[in-house]
Amino acid sequence: MSEWASVLAVFWVLWALDGVRVVRRRGFSFVIGATGRISRAGYARVSLPGLWPGRWRMTTDDVPVSLSPVGICNRPVGAAGRPGEGPAKAHVWRWEEIREVGVADGWIYVNGVRFSPNTGHVVAPELLALARLAPPLREARIRLLVNRWFRPVHLRRRARVLTGRTRIAAALNAVALIAYVVLSVYVVGDVASRITPQWSGRIAAALPWIFGGLLFFHIAPVIVVWRSLRRLKPVRLEKRSANLFSALMLPPQALRLRSLAGEGYFPAQHPLACFLAFGEAAVRARWGFNVIADLRWPIDAAGDSPLAQEIAGWFRGTLEAKVVTLLAAEGVALETLLGPPPRDAAASCRYCPRCRDQFVAGPEVCPHGVKLRPLAGSDTP
Ligand SMILES: [Zn+2]
């Protein structure tokens, strides 16, 4: 039995590693349940998949650039992640200076200079097209781009299609996962020696059927998902066919087929759109606050050139208009998000509107450089 135990150990290690992704920059990763609710969300360099086959994953990044009718700079604004991933000093290009835009190694290069991570929010051909547009048309095109990043209703609709089309595969996967768990408990717990010889004999005789059943529950969902891929048209780069083939060869990789089918199926979104689409009220409020706070009380941008600050400023206004409208439409009350926090100590008299830290008399700005505000009812203004 010990060789079976090692086979199972390898199986579960491969299962645990399947879908673990390590990326170079922190990004958002959401594990979403069959009910369309976030069961886990993280902002990290490592993205972990869901454990249960009914769950699927979506990843997205903060928008890495600022756009304006004048030009583009790689200063992110309206970021949800903390700490943000902005550059120490922003690079900036006026549209008329842009001659070529390329992509290499996950980065967008402008005129041969590394510019910003290629997150899919604005792809290289779109940047080049923007550069060649007349300025009035450019502004309209940028607003269209921004609208495209905030579509929670669209995300929910796509999620329903994904779960609908992968219902059978997820159910078959769930049965297989439970069977593997039972098999592992049987082998590792040495159940064979604890039950009557009669029963262990019966189980031994049924082994070919058990393995036949496992083979069915391995191959059938792969075929089902293969057929449903045609209906789940991808909108982003993906390797679903190659991954599905790899899953066919390696059973531990074939237990999250719903998640596999969802790769590339969701458009690049602002993280807030994902939180609004799939989050509970507290989750939506928390991340909605982060985005608004980054728009109203930005940090890190003090060393940027006046042109970079002008572009980021225009973009900040455009994003804020969009975000405020969207939060209202999704029923998140902005006033309650932005109100002063309850006083954490008797001596506290000021707070930072961005990081919500509280201060006693003395500093006028928080360590990040944000101007402090008086706490309600305090004597010191
Ligand atoms: Zn602060």
Boundaries of domain holding 320: 66-151+280-335
Same domain, 79 and 218: no
**pLDDT value for 260:** 95
Span from the CA of 278 to the centroid of ligand 1 (angstroms): 28
Interatomic CA distance for residues 373 and 348, integer angstroms: 11
Span from the CA of 358 to the centroid of ligand 1 (angstroms): 9
Same domain, 45 and 166: yes
**pLDDT value for 32:** 97
Q: Indicate the residue among 227, 261, 295 that finishes a domain.
A: 261
**pLDDT value for 209:** 93
Span from the CA of 363 to the centroid of ligand 1 (angstroms): 11
Same domain, 24 and 165: yes
Span from the CA of 49 to the centroid of ligand 1 (angstroms): 33
Report if residue 145 sits inside a domain.
Answer: yes
Report if residue 43 sits inside a domain.
Answer: yes
Span from the CA of 336 to the centroid of ligand 1 (angstroms): 19
Span from the CA of 207 to the centroid of ligand 1 (angstroms): 63
Please provide the DSSP assignment of 13-32 as one string.
Answer: HHHHHTT-EEEEEEEEEEEE
Span from the CA of 12 to the centroid of ligand 1 (angstroms): 44
Same domain, 103 and 213: no
Span from the CA of 371 to the centroid of ligand 1 (angstroms): 8
Number of domains in the chain: 3
**pLDDT value for 377:** 63
**pLDDT value for 328:** 93
Ranges of the chain whose pLDDT falls below 50: 380-381
Span from the CA of 91 to the centroid of ligand 1 (angstroms): 25
Report if residue 271 sits inside a domain.
Answer: no
Same domain, 40 and 16: yes
Same domain, 55 and 186: yes
Q: How many CB atoms lie within 10 A of CB 1?
A: 10
Q: 57 and 262 in contact (C-beta within 8 Å)?
A: yes
Coil vs helix vs strand at 295: helix
**pLDDT value for 380:** 45
Instruction: Report the chain's terminal Cα–Cα distance, integer Å.
Output: 74
Span from the CA of 292 to the centroid of ligand 1 (angstroms): 14
Same domain, 35 and 157: yes
Span from the CA of 65 to the centroid of ligand 1 (angstroms): 23
**pLDDT value for 1:** 54
Span from the CA of 321 to the centroid of ligand 1 (angstroms): 23
Span from the CA of 353 to the centroid of ligand 1 (angstroms): 7
Span from the CA of 373 to the centroid of ligand 1 (angstroms): 10
Report if residue 269 sits inside a domain.
Answer: no
Q: What is the DSSP letter of 46?
A: E
**pLDDT value for 170:** 97
Q: 211 and 180 in contact (C-beta within 8 Å)?
A: no
| CB-based burial label for 283 (10 Å; 0-12, 13-18, 19+) | middle
Span from the CA of 130 to the centroid of ligand 1 (angstroms): 36
